[in-house]
Structure 1
Amino acid sequence: MSPESSHRVADAARSSHADATTDRLKFNGDNVFQRELRRRVEAHFKHSGQKQRDGARIYLKTAIILATFMASYVLLVFFAATWWQGLLISIVLGVATAQIGFNIQHDAGHQAFSERRWINKCMAMTLDLVGGSSYVWHWKHAHFHHTYVNIDGYDSDINLGALARFSPQQKRYAHHRWQHIYLWALYGLTVVSWHLHDDFRDVITGTIGKRRFPRPRGKDLAVFVIGKLVFFTLALGLPLMFHSLGAVLLCYGVVAVVAGLQLALVFQLAHAVEEAAFPAPSEPGRMNTPWAIHQLETTANFSRDSRVITWLVGGLNFQVEHHLFPRICHIHYPAISRVVEATCREYGVPYHANRSFGAGLASHYRWLRRMGRPDAMPAPLVLEPLAQN
């Protein structure tokens, strides 16, 4: 077959796959492992006497984060008098913004913050406060990403268009050869893109990546619009009453880049690493693995021994536990991780974990470089007992 013919066949396959994304994808129905794992985790909570949600620790943590966010915002807008004060406070505000996403909104959006739906709803709307959309996030992350992790055409979180190639099934462009270098700078623009483009595009088109979703209506649309108005008032309108346009844009940029880097890197270290699989459907509309096994194959933990990182990223260094039990509050992930890992060992299914944040970064770097090479081919999906670096 000629090179031209090979390219035509590959393009046709990609087109066929893209069209297939309008259909639902079903997983293998063998859920023996998942049922046993759920039984053991529930037994852990029954034995410990702890509640899966509504613990005092998550409310205290929420109060600390929101107080830090509000204090740093007030200091930045009303008291910062020099450039270095503005820079330092902007960095703190950027960290606090990411903290809201990791620790408060994320749990609430998964119904893992509280047993009460209205509390989860209110806490989920903290994302609207910092410029995102709790409605779009629900579909993009809680629905599409969590159901179809690392499946090209289904998981929009691995689709950056022509900017990057994360999956072996995605088309490679010549500039991807350098993606392991230039993407680090683009990660910092993640939040800016959400603020100024992504949410608006998704709501207007009714699509997230290649997947359609219901546009917000009624109360959901009101929250979307009011949330954007409140955010832009806080981020730009109010500060412009006290500071120059250049100073406001500079501080906004610092806050957004600091928050964006944190949010992007935590996701990449969980899914776009060498340890994680990027499987494709075994046949149209069907995966040959059970859902729980799929979560384990496509997800990796990092820095499990670091209490500081665990606190800062809202337990999302325990992504394996989060993907298996998204409705359990993140403060319990370190404890249930021992149950999950032991069960995985017993059943001979993968449990991926990088020992440190640096090891996760290195693995992500190597994966980006591999996917950018001209000879990068789809990697075979191999089940191994325990891959831990």
Structure 2
Amino acid sequence: MKNLKFDKTGSAEFSKTLKARVNAHFKNTNTNIYGDGRMVVKTIIMLSVFFIPLITMSTGLISSPALIFALYITSGFGMAGVGMGVMHDAIHGSYSKHRLVNKYLGYSMNLIGASANVWRVQHNVLHHTYTNVDEGDDDINAPFFLRFTPNAKRYWVHRFQYLYIWFFYGLSTISWITTKDFVRLKRYRDMGFFGKEGEYRKEVMKIVGWKLLYYSYALILPLIMIPLPAWIIVLAFLSMHFVTGICISLVFQTAHIVQDAAFLNPDQEGLISNEWTVHQLATTSNYSPRSKVFSWLIGGLNFQVEHHLFPNICHIHYRKLSQIVSETAREFNVPYLVKKTFVAALWDHIKMLRQLGKA
């Protein structure tokens, strides 16, 4: 990867003004940037929705295939809720002002089969810093049969990606908990992360250990305890991950892979032709800003603009911050992308996928 850097010569006043107004908001309302009791309630609910169905199946008292599928799928929604509404804030350090709280709640990522440390590099460092930038944002670094940026090479198969991509979205978390963490860990080591003596080996062992724990209680124990053929249990387990994969993929992809988002190519020296704050606004889109229930379910990630600008602030504050950000952007003539509904954002994502498949 090139030594990427942003152009700091323009829009500095916008960034300075926005930060000052956001700081003033918290000072004037006598609140802090972290979570509160609402996050505790959400954490209990999401962890319960994830774990209770798995615990119920592990008692061996359930023998109905339909009920097994229902319990696993329910757990899949809980897994998505833990990922978007608990782990996400904790790993960004915005759940609590206490580092240990963030650290241990960040382990909820490991409890659902993935690596918090690998995610921290992929998401916090690469995606948040170099959003929609080729060679920087690992979220648009897709296998050859998917094309998420107009700067990537186009193959004939991409013409149909808007039709088959849902299958791969559904497979995204099962891929994540089997191979993707190991592949990314190696790539990130080659990029300069996990470079301390013994760190890479230690991280591999951690990932293996956490995955063994996850598979033990999410699949092996139900296989032992449930008096049904193994193929039914495995298929139900895969359906859980398919639901989680679809939920997480659609929430994140509809914020960046849309028609009005920018996809920038750094120049030969690695310079990105935008100041960082403006870059985030140009590459990120909100959706469904009025739906409080939907926002609660997906961890405030319908306010992706605010999240990208202030990832150190808990998502419970994004709705109010969005008023400050949109007004300041309008004042400085900076783009502020937003779709009225999630359906509109999803339709725009589909059109973008078709567009990427044609040119």
Q: Report the TM range for the smaller structure's normalisation.
A: over 0.9
Q: Separation in 2 of the partners of 1:59 and 1:29? A: 42
How far is the alpha carbon of 1:351 from its aligned partner? 0.4
SS of the aligned residue for 2:338 comes to strand
Corresponding position of 1:168: 150
Cα distance in structure 2, aligned partners of 1:211 and 1:364: 30
Q: Which residue of 2 aligns with 1:16?
A: none
Moved more, 211-220 or 166-175: 211-220
User: Secondary structure of the equivalent of 1:163?
Assistant: coil
Distance 1:218 1:43, change over 3 A: farther
1:219: how far off?
6.8
Q: How many residues align?
A: 352
The one of 28, 34, 39 equivalent to 2:15 is 34
Amino acid at match of 2:276: W
Amino acid in the other structure paired with 2:350: Y
Is 298-307 or 217-226 further displaced after alignment?
217-226
Match of residue 347, structure 1, among 332, 335, 347 = 332
Task: Give the secondary-structure state (helix, strand or coil) at the position aligned to 1:51.
Answer: coil
* TM-score normalized by the length of structure 1: 0.87
String of CA shifts for 1:32-76, please: whole Å, max 9, x gaps.
211111110111111112221141111121112112222121123
Once the two structures are overlaid, the 10-residue window that deviates more, 169-178 or 49-58, is 49-58
Q: Which amino acid aligns with 1:35?
A: K
- Distance in 2 (CA, whole Å) between partners of 1:108 and 1:275 is 30
Q: Which of the numbers 316, 323, 337 marks the counterpart of 1:331?
A: 316
Residues 220-259 of structure 1 correspond to what in structure 2 (within 5 A)?
A: 220=203, 223-243=206-226, 244-259=229-244
- Name the TM-score, length of structure 2 as normaliser: 0.94
Deviations 1:114-156 (A, max 9, x none): 1111111101110100011001000000000000000111111
The alignment yields a C-alpha RMSD, in angstroms, of 1.7
Residue equivalent to 2:258: 273
- 2 CA distance for matches of 1:148 and 1:27? 13
CA contact (8 A) 1:22 1:212 kept: no
Which of residues 288, 300, 312 is equivalent to 2:297? 312
Aligned pair partner of 1:58 in 39, 51, 59? 39
Query: Structure 2: how far apart are the matches of 1:68 and 1:356?
Result: 26
> Is structure 2 residue 8 aligned with structure 1 residue 25?
no
How far off is 1:213 after superposition? 2.7
Counterpart residue identity of residue 165, structure 2: L
2:306: which partner in 1? 321
The answer to whether structure 1 residue 296 and structure 2 residue 281 are counterparts is yes
Q: How far does the alpha carbon of each residue in 1:84-114 deviate from its partner, in whole angstroms, 9 at most, with x for none? A: 1112111210000000000111001110111
Identity percentage of aligned residues: 38
How far apart are the structure 2 equivalents of 1:122 and 1:221? 19
- CA deviations on 1:232-287 (whole Å, 9 max, x unpaired) are 11122211211332122112101100000011111110000012110112442111
